[in-house]
Amino acid sequence: DVKVTQSSRYLVKRTGEKVFLECVQDMDHENMFWYRQDPGLGLRLIYFSYDVKMKEKGDIPEGYSVSREKKERFSLILESASTNQTSMYLCASSSGRGMSYNEQFFGPGTRLTVL
């Protein structure tokens, strides 16, 4: 079975802190994604990566950056956390190159609270 793991289930940080969210997948997938999920707004894509060291902005990249130094690991970075970044963060991965990527598999999520 594909497994996508996220470093924390719950995280509480203070405004202005630098926050790292880690995601690891064990199926050698090329593509990895970071979403946030908020009530009433659904899932929104922050960033995705289709290869090591490659990244593309999603719908809401402002205030975030990402890093993919190894194929299995995709990190989301909040440079200076703000209260409006309190949310559920979901990581996903999928196989496939170019336009033919397949089924997405999600991690368990990280509930981040910024005070």
Contacting positions for other proteins (CB under 8 A):
4, 31, 42-43, 45, 48, 50, 56, 58-59, 88, 90, 92, 99-109, 111
Could you tell me the CA-to-CA distances from 32 to 16, 36, 80, 93, 114 in Å, in that order? 27, 14, 23, 4, 25
Q: Where are the alpha helices (DSSP H) in the chain?
A: none
Nearer residue to other proteins within complex by CB, 77 or 105? 105
Q: Min. distance of Cβ 7 from other proteins in angstroms?
A: 14
The pair of three-digit structure tokens given for residue 65, joined into one six-digit string: 């950056």
Q: Min. distance of Cβ 58 from other proteins in angstroms?
A: 7
Q: Min. distance of Cβ 69 from other proteins in angstroms?
A: 20
